[in-house]
Structures are given as C-alpha cells and as structure tokens.
Structure 1
C-alpha cells in the first residue's frame, strides 16, 4: 500500500516537471492576445519564428552558455541580465526569477521579452532571429492559425 502511494507521488512530480511544447498556432493565439502582433513594429510572424528557432516552442528549454549564464524558456532569456537565478546577484532587469520563465504560463516571459525589445535594439537581442527570421517574409508562420 505504501509503495502505491510513493509511486503516485513520484508520478505527480514527474508530470509537473514535464516540458510543454506549444504548437505554432497555439503560440500565435497566445502571442496575439498578449499584444505581440506589431509590438514595437514586429509582426506576429517575427515572434513565432524567433520562438521556434530559440526554443522549438519548448517552455522549459534551458541553454548553459560559455560564460556560465543560462538562457531560459521559450524566448531563451539570459540569466545574467534579465532574470534572477537562485541567490546569485545578476542584473535582473525584468525583476523576475528565471524559474518563472520556464513555466507553461508565458506571462512573465512575454513581459520580459517586451522589456528586452524596448531596452535593446529590437529583436537583435535574439541571434537566431537575426539568422533565420530577420528581413524575411514571415507570413507563413501564422498561416492557417486563427488569431484574434
């Protein structure tokens, strides 16, 4: 009986730490509702393309960089400048814990991404956006998606 309880508890823990990988159209809807379409002059296609190349739409994506900092979440937001990791004192310009950027609720990640756009050179912060999305026709990224 105790073993069944322990297994159930482990099952709950494993379920809660699984990553959420959104579909392109689900993200288009979330991004549109969050006001990202044409935010700072960048179309919805830019945001969807960038999220794809940065994280593969994976909310729990984490990339450790050579300098020891970590890029977090769907937008791969860096721990050194934009969020707080544990008790390490980084700049934390978004005033958010890095763990808040790797949840299925994209609110904090979107707020932080908007701040990055305003405080840097637009979407140039995201190198994969520059390589794969900048200056291209991005209308295909939201094609077939119902966005409001």
Structure 2
C-alpha cells in the first residue's frame, strides 16, 4: 500500500487504508460478498462495489466508475484495487463510501495497525500488515487474559 502511494493520498493515512482492508475483507484478497438489497456484489480486499465502481456483468444499473472488470479485483496483486480505491476516495463520500471504515476506523486511534511493521520488509509489504495486525491483536489478548 505504501509503495502504491496510499499513505497520505487524499489526506488518508496508511493506518486508515490498512484498517479499511482489515474490516472490509480481513485482508482476504478473494473476498466476494453479495448485497441482496440492490443486487450488487463487493469484490476483493477493499470490497469494491459492483453497483458503482466495477463491472461484473450482472449488477443492474451498474456505473463502473473505475472502468474495471470486478474479477480483476480478486487477486493477491492488489494494484487494481488500490487504483480503484484512489478513484473512490476522490468522490464526495471519500472513505465513508466504505461501511467497514465508517463503523470501525473513522476518528479512531489506528496506530496498532502498523505498529512494529517494517514498511520495507518485502515487495508484498501488505502481507506484513496483516501479520502485524494479527500479532498485535494476539499480544493484546494475551496481555488482557494472561494464562
């Protein structure tokens, strides 16, 4: 995420992007969730919606704002998801376009999401974030519930 210029993009910190991915998909790049209300589906690590942002060929009245096939968002290479997220966050809703971010990340201390992470660990540095978040969550639980 940092390598793709997400830290500070449109004023959004890296911690917010990582928190978004955590609450939207649990860092699962192949996540796909159907929304029966409007017949749309959310795709990928950032759960990008087919009503507004991508084309899945089945969502009624799809806008395809990112001009991308939704299936391209279901991959371990998150470049296309990040590119689309940059488009989404420019809209008036900004990060609030994502319910997971609104409900869990907005106006919160998110330092735990990157605490102890080396941002230069590898080319797939996002993997580091999920490990760091999982590690810090486990460490916190262990502090709160000693054996």
TM-score of the superposed pair, with normalisation by structure 1 = 0.76
| 1:120 counterpart = 2:85 | no
After TM superposition, the structure 1 = structure 2 runs for residues 23-34 of structure 1, keeping only pairs within 5 Å, are 31-34=1-4
Show the counterpart of 2:11. 41
Counterpart of 1:83 (choices 54, 57, 72) is: 54
| 1:101 counterpart = 2:73 | yes
Show the counterpart of 2:42. 71
Helix, strand or coil at the partner of 1:51: helix
Contiguous gaps of at least 5 residues in structure 1? 1-30
Show the counterpart of 1:110. 82
Following superposition, the deviation at residue 87 of structure 1 comes to 6.7
Counterpart of 1:141 (choices 113, 120, 128) is: 113
Give the paired residue count.
Answer: 118
Pair member with larger Rg: 1
Following superposition, the deviation at residue 56 of structure 1 comes to 0.4
Q: 1:37 to 1:92 in 2, by over 3 A?
A: same
Higher relative contact order (CA 8 A, sep 6+): 1
Helix, strand or coil at the partner of 1:119: coil
Following superposition, the deviation at residue 120 of structure 1 comes to 3.3
Helix, strand or coil at the partner of 1:47: helix
Following the alignment from structure 1 to structure 2, what is the Cα–Cα distance between the partners of residues 87 and 74?
A: 20
Following superposition, the deviation at residue 94 of structure 1 comes to 0.3
Superimposed CA distance per residue, residues 11-46 of structure 1 (whole angstroms, 9 cap, x where no aligned partner) = xxxxxxxxxxxxxxxxxxxx1101111111111100
Structure number having the greater helix percentage: 1
Helix, strand or coil at the partner of 2:2: helix
Contiguous gaps of at least 5 residues in structure 2? 121-147
RMSD of aligned C-alpha atoms? 1.3
